[in-house]
Amino acid sequence: MTNDHVEIWSKCLSVIKDNVTEQNYSTWFAPIVPLSIEGKTLTIEVPTLFFVEYLEEHYIDLLRTVIRRFIGEKGKLDYKTAVDSNNNAGSITLPSANRSFPKNPIGQPAPQRLSEVPLNPFVIPGLKKQQIDSQLNENYTFDNFIEGECNRLARSAGLQIAKMPGKTSFNPLVIYSGTGLGKTHLCHAIGLETKRLHPEKTVLYVQAEQLSTQYVTANKNNNRPDFINFYQMIDVLIIDDIQFLAGKPGTQDVFFHIFNHLQQNNKQIVITSDRFPSDLQGMEDRLLSRFKWGLTADLQLPDLVTRTSIIREKMHDNGITFPDEVVQYIATNVRNNIRELEGVMNSLMAQSVFNKKAVTIEMTQQIIDRFVRNTVKEISVEYIINTVCDYFKISPEQMALNTRKRQVVQARQIAMYLSKKYSNASLASIGQQCGKKHHATVHHACKTIANQLETDKQFKVMFADIEKKIALS
């Protein structure tokens, strides 16, 4: 049997690689450096103490197997890592996995350090504030989240979660709906009520796009373990607009580990999406399956009674009164979403205050006509793809093909351009739905269509015809 530590570890890795995913291999095993072998003990260097804990928790059986195979039944594995400023190192002995802490050899370069207090990705560099800010908006409470048939299930589940975070069958709670129907409001309400009832709990609200940006920064700065450790400390984690993780495998992988840790430790997870989880494109199946573990509840368009209640609540909050006929006219004619309803009311209040005029039906009609007409409706990427394909007389499957056929390429580029204009989907999500294309391809398509609209009159007429079909939907 060879005494070469590099060769032994290389053999171990060849077996490990066949038993873990490529992503997990590159994350947890590729950074490891074999240092030496003395007798039956192989010593390896890992970046941080967090690696030791993670490997112990998830791969102890696999490591025990490969060490016994290539060193023998009495084989041992020592991990060396910096855990504090005194350069102590951690060691695990296999197969018993007992811990000891030998000194780091003099002259040994100190590996990457895992902070005693995990780095807070929400803190601006240079500031000393390290406590976790929940990122919650104090204005979004259950008191001003009007209940109706359209939201009763989600609201009731949210209240139950706030009373017993992590201890209900609603874990995770996935809330989905179109734009402007109250997903974000409900998220903040759950967080605020949880903090009120359980002040000892750590609650955090974060937008999925912000989570992704933080992960990219952490990865760039070699702080991935600190990033994971920070999020695993949270008692109630609220992720808004999870669809923005579509097409981002790195962020999805790290969120998968965070999700598992929180779920297994009875921590609460709340997620929002702009569509039903199984309709999310560009999301890993293992994440989608976990989203189904708890409760999935939708927020529907508010009915007339609920819209009227929302208007009266907003009037009460602002200390104003509209005539009953105005209230009924707004509730009857503004039906797309709550955000649009509030926008009309804000415009009416501004007109009344600045022009010192009473709110009348005539003023309300003018504002609603102007406001609703100029509001760009959000339309699903799927609907846009189907509309464009119908115009070009091709199927969505044909549009997704890797071909240079002019008609298909043009249809795909138009679908990408219109999806960016009429939906809130990210470029990555649009690319995934338009044939699993990269977000850079979507960006290029949008520039191409914009240039054609400026230079090609015939194309402009054709495009207007397609856009009309979508805009009038």
* 3-class state of residue 442 by DSSP: helix
The superfamily (CATH) of domain 381-471 is DnaA protein, C-terminal DNA-binding domain (1.10.1750.10)
Please tell me whether the peptide bond between 172 and the residue prior to it is cis, using omega within 30 degrees of 0: yes
Ordered by start, the domain boundaries in the chain are 5-100, 152-298, 304-374, 381-471
**Phi and psi dihedrals of 399, rounded to 5?**
-65, -30
Instruction: Give me the residue label for tokens 């350069």.
Output: 87
**How does strand 268-273 pair with strand 295-298?**
unpaired
Other C-beta atoms lying within 10 Å of the C-beta of residue 367: 20
**CATH topology match: 304-374 vs 381-471:** no
Q: Which fold has domain 152-298?
A: Rossmann fold (3.40.50)
* pTM for the predicted model, two decimal places: 0.55
Element (H, E) at 269: strand 268-273
E strand map for 58-183: 76-80, 91-93, 98-100, 173-176
The conformational region for residue 175 under phi > 0 = left, psi -120 to 50 = alpha, else beta, is beta
Residues near 167 by beta carbon (within 8 Å), at least 6 away in sequence? 266
Whether residue 80 contacts residue 49, with contact meaning beta carbons closer than 8 Å, is answered with no
User: From first to last of its 473 residues, what are the pLDDT tens digits of the chain?
Assistant: 445 888 899 999 988 888 888 777 877 888 888 888 888 888 888 876 667 767 877 788 888 888 888 888 888 888 886 443 333 344 444 433 333 333 333 233 333 444 445 667 776 454 343 467 888 999 899 988 988 888 889 999 999 999 999 988 889 999 988 878 889 999 999 999 999 999 999 999 999 988 998 898 888 888 888 888 889 889 999 999 999 898 888 899 999 999 989 988 899 999 999 888 877 888 888 888 888 888 888 888 888 888 888 888 888 877 788 888 888 888 888 877 788 888 888 888 887 777 777 888 888 888 887 766 555 455 788 889 999 999 999 998 899 888 889 999 999 999 999 988 888 777 878 888 898 888 888 989 999 998 898 888 889 989 988 988 886 65
Q: In DSSP terms, which residues pair with 310 in a beta bridge?
A: none
Q: Where are the alpha helices (DSSP H) in 198-248?
A: 208-220, 224-232
Which tokens sit at 143?
């008191």
* Domain 304-374: CATH class, spelled out: mainly alpha
Measure the CA–CA gap between 159 and 142, rounded to whole angstroms: 8
Q: Which CATH superfamily is domain 5-100 in?
A: DnaA, N-terminal domain (3.30.300.180)
